[in-house]
Amino acid sequence: MFMTNPFDALTSLISADVMQMYIIVMAVLVAGGTILDMMHKKSAKYFALDTAKNDKNAKRAVGAGEKAGLAVAVVANEVLTSGEFANTKRRISHLLTMYGFILFVASSALMIFECDTIATTTLAQLWHIGAIMLCIGGYWFWFFIRVDVNSEGAKWYKLVRADIFIVSLFTTATFALIWSYLQSGGEHGAVADMGWTTLFFALFLVSNTTLFASVLWSKFAHMFFKPAAAFQKRVAHADGGNLNLPGDFDLSSPEVQARFPDIPEYMGKNPENMGAGIRREAPNHY
Amino acid sequence: MPTFVYMTRCDGCGQCVDICPSDIMHIDKTLRRAYNIEPNMCWECYSCVKACPHHAIDVRGYADFAPLGHSVRVHRDEEKGTIAWRIKFRNGKKDMELLAPITTKPWGTGFPDLSAAAAPGGDMVKGENLYNEPKYVAMNDNALATLESNGLEIKEGVYY
């Protein structure tokens, strides 16, 4: 199962051209959905206004080189390692889902477009690994981590519109794996039960199309606007405006102690680390 | 002025949902980000503003301590044990920062040992400090009213 290209057996039913066209249509739907989402939420206008506001608060100019450095930091911290999550479980689940999705989508596209540079068995393995990673991250998030269940006390089966993205994501991966398993069930590579295989292929197709066609209504577009927001926040910190937040003071510094005499009076000249405070426990006491 | 959430900064972690004493910070059903479901009921205790790890929640202060249009933001650094405020007037020129301790002992070390303390005597119940206790508390009968004693039970979770 893990070494077989699941789209191979499909070519007898659907031609490679149709499958390639489907991939292109999905890509167009993502691009179109993102643009419509941006227009609907006025995200670009909001970002421009916010940038102008931050520039007004800035205490110094941030050069192009420094901005490039900040962009690299955003890629390394927020994009590649999901460093913005305060909750470690959410971060791990997000990384599993994100890299699983990338592996799954990229290997699907490469297999359908019959890429010769990477061996089909390798691509098939990546496709299955991606789907398994998506399932682990997705179900973990769905049953335990998402805030509705963890903090709001809602039942796992309570569906809301925000769930379009995650539900279509893990159902796509689940149906894909079941479909691939059913294809490999027969002897000598033959499909064991055509009825069940077709049913799970249809379910896979429906969830996959929902995932890519619902960008306007789901949170799919977060993968584009989150890095932009993270970059804007880093620039605001670098230019000294700091989003109007107070500075980060070194409590042992004599200047800070002279400016804020309460600190040495109550906490001494070298205040100790006071611990994690309310963040000692995860927020689940709704 | 009630709290509001910057949606691009919120990551939906639920710290504000957990801490809000009025139970009005909830997670939006469409975007899975926090928002104030009932601004009328917010009494600006700043609990959620201080608890938010991303500074995604803001409150506009009243005109009695700064002219309207100002920004008042707070950072509660628990590891240092300090709370820092920054109040910036709308002209951008008056920009004040305040820093004060929130605790003088490491977190988790300051719990009183209530089991070792002496039980309150009957004279304390009749004393002037408790004279205005509501009757339903039934302190004088040595039986505190509870959900169980009233045949009630509490349901888990938030229902809306």
Tell me the HSE value of B50 on the side-chain side, using a 13 A CA sphere.
Answer: 17
Q: Which CATH number fits domain B1-59: 3.20.20.80, 3.30.1490.20, 3.30.70.20, 3.40.50.300?
A: 3.30.70.20
Which residue of chain B is at minimal alpha-carbon distance from A261? Answer: B100
A195 CB within 8 Å of a chain B CB: no
A216's enclosing H/E stretch is none
CB < 8 Å to B13, chain A: 85-87, 90, 147, 283
Cα torsion at B15, B18, B24, B26 (round to 10°)? 60
- pLDDT of B85 reads 95
- Look at the block and give the residue holding tokens 């996959």: A208
Chain B residues touching A45 at Cβ < 8 A:
none
Residues on chain B touching A278 (C-beta within 8 angstroms): 15, 19, 51, 78
Q: Across residues B55-70, what is the average pLDDT?
A: 88
**Candidate from A85, A246, A284 with C-beta closest to B85:** A246
CB atoms within 10 A of CB B115: 5
A249 Cβ under 8 Å from any chain B Cβ: yes
Q: Which of A162, A273, A279 sits opposite B31 (nearest CB)?
A: A162
Mean pLDDT of A235-245: 89
Nearest chain B Cα to A265, which residue? Answer: B101
Q: How many CB atoms lie within 10 A of CB A224?
A: 15
Least confident of A96-110, A155-169, A184-198: A184-198
- Are A241 and A58 contacting, i.e. CB atoms less than 8 angstroms apart? yes
> In the annotation, is B85 catalytic?
no
**In the block, residue with structure tokens 């420094």:** A66
Q: What is the ipTM of this complex?
A: 0.72
| Burial call A57-72: b when 16+ CB within 10 Å, e when fewer | bbeeebeeeeeeebbe
pLDDT digits (tens, 9 = 90+) for A21-74: 999 999 999 999 999 999 998 888 988 998 898 888 888 899 999 999 999 999
Give first-to-last CA distance, chain B, whole Å: 24
Residue A229 has pLDDT above 90, yes or no: no
Can you read off the two tokens belonging to residue B14? Answer: 């639920």
| CB contact (8 A) between residue A151 and residue B27 | yes
Is the CB of residue A96 less than 8 Å from the CB of residue A136?
A: yes
Q: What is the pLDDT of residue A76?
A: 94
The verdict on A156 touching B (C-beta cutoff 8 Å) is no
Q: How many residues are there in chain B?
A: 160
Contact B157 A153 (CB under 8 A): yes
Structure tokens at B12: 């939906």
Residues of A with Cβ-Cβ distance to B14 under 8 angstroms: 147, 150-152, 283-284, 286
- State whether residue A91 sits within 8 Å of chain B by CB: no
Return the structure tokens found at A264: 């040495």
Q: For residue A244, is it left (φ>0), alpha (ψ between -120 and 50) or beta? A: left
Q: Which amino acid is at A277?
A: G
Give A210→chain B minimum CA distance, Å: 16
Per-residue confidence (pLDDT) for residue A189, from 0 to 100:
55
Position B71, amino acid: S
- CB within 8 A of B69, min separation 6: which ones? B89, B90
Active-site residue, selected from the candidate residues B8, B40, B43, B101: B43
pTM given for the model: 0.78
Place of tokens 């910070």: B25
8 A C-beta contact, residue A200 and residue A184: no
CA dist., res. A281 & res. B123, Å (int)? 40
Average pLDDT score over residue span A136-151:
88
